[in-house]
Structure 1
Amino acid sequence: MEPIQAPSIPETIVQRIIRMIGDGTWKAGDRLPPQRHLSQELGVSMSSLREALQTLQGMGVIELRHGEGTFVCHNPSQIVERCLNLALVLDRDKVEDFLDARRAVEGGLAYLAAKRATDEQIARLIELLGGMKAAIEAGDDPRFESLDVAYHRLIAEMSHSEILQYLGSIVFDTLLEEFIRLVPHTPKGWQRHAEVCAAIQARDPERSEKAMHDLVDATASYIHFVKSNACD
């Protein structure tokens, strides 16, 4: 197995593993080599490999079984279905415009939320965040997705801006829910949501806007990566 040349990144590992599954190196139901062995074969760090495996699990390509190892999904149709769903989203016109609009609108919503949110609204946001964390720990994707949508809609409400809320509703009703469903739900992703919440709670508009931009940019990066590699 040819090592990945430095600098290695989790996305490169994901692409390599997907290609190896595609060319038959590993088939449905096969157990991948132990993580330490695999990291040595690929020439990458354990932390980068773990992040890549989390992404692959979120995509439905592999299954991480505690105490047993890492396995290629038994049902290849799960992978195909996920790729088809991604294609339906990513082939739509103006996806780039949507991502740009989401960044601008949600950044503005977070900025105003830090200035205008009531204490009750902030308490609700913290409650939603706690529920999202519990859903990730329980592996309950539908629950996480429902709470994530509610989280973003609440921040829009917290802005107390009718115009921005209207623009936000256009964003939310277009592709946001599909992106939330398709992007892997990981502790790192939850942490980005937590940073937005903490900034709003601290009543820091600039920090809130930046934290939301970081959250949206991370989602956009994943969508771009999958568009280029996941369904080739």
Structure 2
Amino acid sequence: MSDIFSRIEHSRTADEVVQQIESLILEGVLRAGDRLPGEREMAKQFDVSRPILRDALKTLEARGLMVTRHGGGTYVADVIGEVFSKPVMELIVNHRKAAADYLEYRREIEGLAAEYAAQRATAEDLALLDGIVARMEAAHRRADPAEEGAIDVEFHHAVGECAHNIILLHTLRSCYRLLSDGVFTNRLVVFTVSGTRDVLLEQHKAIHRAVVAGDPAAARKAAMDHITYLERAMAEAERSGDWQRISRLRLRQRTDSTETSRKS
């Protein structure tokens, strides 16, 4: 995390340091769990005295944006993406309609994010996106559903960052937080359905191509088509799972009945 902080040009106060770090958190440059550089290095980057830096870090910690671990440094607190409280998350887990509503919401918001990304992505954004897609293709070749699922979320995170809209960015992060926290535990089942992995890879590449080409309409359509496909695939995976469960119960029941008949 070298050189992400800018030299403070005018009034070198703790407030200026606080404002800059807050902006980096809002813009998604600093993420939850990121460790800040040492005090000496940070003071040098900001070009402020160490007492001023300490005051700034204390203010950020008091606001719940930083946490200091004894002997272990200062970290960005896990506050971004906490739009859904724990009771609400438990409600979502326990009501199946919530999964459908979640995907319906994601279809619209990810369509918007992809559209903005195609309009606003910088060369650096596109380089980051290129790297993620390359890793996605490598994971696909290895046929590792867990890795593919993790990179899938990372890809959508990156598209949201390319949109350069703070509110959209953190709204999306709250959505993906539900995935990373395991609220929708059946999401990885989609990667095990025959043929689905190939389709998902191509859909992600279509979003990527549209963003790189700077085509907002195509990017929006590709993102929305992707979620529509996910809706169908998850429904199919769930239905197949129900069929398998019923088949197992039927087989067990008939096997038990046969064993009982033999004994009598």
Q: Does 1:108 align with 2:112?
A: yes
The residue aligned with 1:127 is 131
| Match among 152, 156, 159 for residue 160 of structure 2 | 156
Separation (CA, whole Å) in 1 of partners of 2:178 and 2:103: 11
Q: Deviations over 1:77-129 (max 9, x none)?
A: xxxxxxxxxxx969544222111101011111101000111111111111111
Matches of 2:171 and 2:117, distance apart in 1? 15
2:190 equivalent to 1:183: yes
Q: Which residue of 2 aligns with 1:192?
A: 203
Query: Residues of 2 paired with 1:224 and 1:90: CA distance?
Result: 17
* Structure 1 Cα separation of the partners of residues 220 and 110 of structure 2: 8
**Matched letter for residue 200 of structure 1:** V
Mark the CA change 1:187 to 1:119 in structure 2 (over 3 Å): closer, same or farther.
same
- The 1-side partners of 2:235 and 2:146 are apart by 23
Name the residue aligned to 2:241: 230
Report SS of the residue matched to 2:172.
helix
Report the count of equivalent residues: 145
The TM-score, its normalising length taken from structure 1, stands at 0.57
Change (3 A) 1:226 1:139: closer
Greater RCO (Cα-Cα under 8 Å, separation 6 or more): 1
Residue number in structure 2 paired with 1:209: 220
Q: Which moved more, 1:222-231 or 1:104-113?
A: 222-231
Letter of the 1:181 partner, please give it: L
Query: Within 1, Cα distance between the matches of 2:139 and 2:226?
Result: 19
Give the distance between the partners of 2:139 and 2:159, measured in 1 at CA.
20
Q: Distance in 1 between matches of 2:189 and 2:95?
A: 14
Answer yes or no: is the 8 Å Cα contact 1:102–1:216 preserved in 2: yes
* TM-score (normalised: structure 2): 0.51
Q: CA deviation at 1:200?
A: 0.2
Which segment is superposed worse, 94-103 or 178-187? 178-187
Structure 2: how far apart are the matches of 1:154 and 1:117?
10
Once the two structures are superposed, residues 52-73 of structure 1 have per-residue CA deviations (whole angstroms, 9 ceiling, x without a partner) of xxxxxxxxxxxxxxxxxxxxxx
* Structure 1 residue 138, shift from structure 2 partner: 1.2
Cα displacement string for residues 131-186 of structure 1 (whole angstroms, at most 9, x for unaligned residues)? 11111111222322222111110111111111111221221112477465231162
**Counterpart residue number, 1:165:** 169
Runs of 4+ off more than 4 Å: 88-91, 176-180
Instruction: Report if the CA contact (8 A) 1:90-1:227 is conserved.
Output: no
* Partner Cα separation in structure 2 for residue 118 and residue 90 of structure 1: 41
Contact 1:89–1:175 under 8 Å retained in 2: no
Contact 2:206 2:222 in 1 (8 A): yes
Separation in 1, partners of 2:152, 2:111? 16
Q: How far is the alpha carbon of 1:202 from its aligned partner? A: 0.3
| Partner residue, 1:14 | none
Percent identity at matched positions? 26
Q: How does 1:29-108 map to 2 (within 5 A)?
A: 92-108=96-112
CA distance in 2, matches of 1:166, 1:131: 24
CA distance in 2, matches of 1:106, 1:96: 15
Amino acid corresponding to residue 115 of structure 2 in structure 1:
Y
1:168–1:135 Cα change, 3 Å: same
Give 1:221's aligned amino acid: R
Unaligned runs of 5+ in 2: 1-91, 244-264
Superposition CA RMSD, Å: 2.2
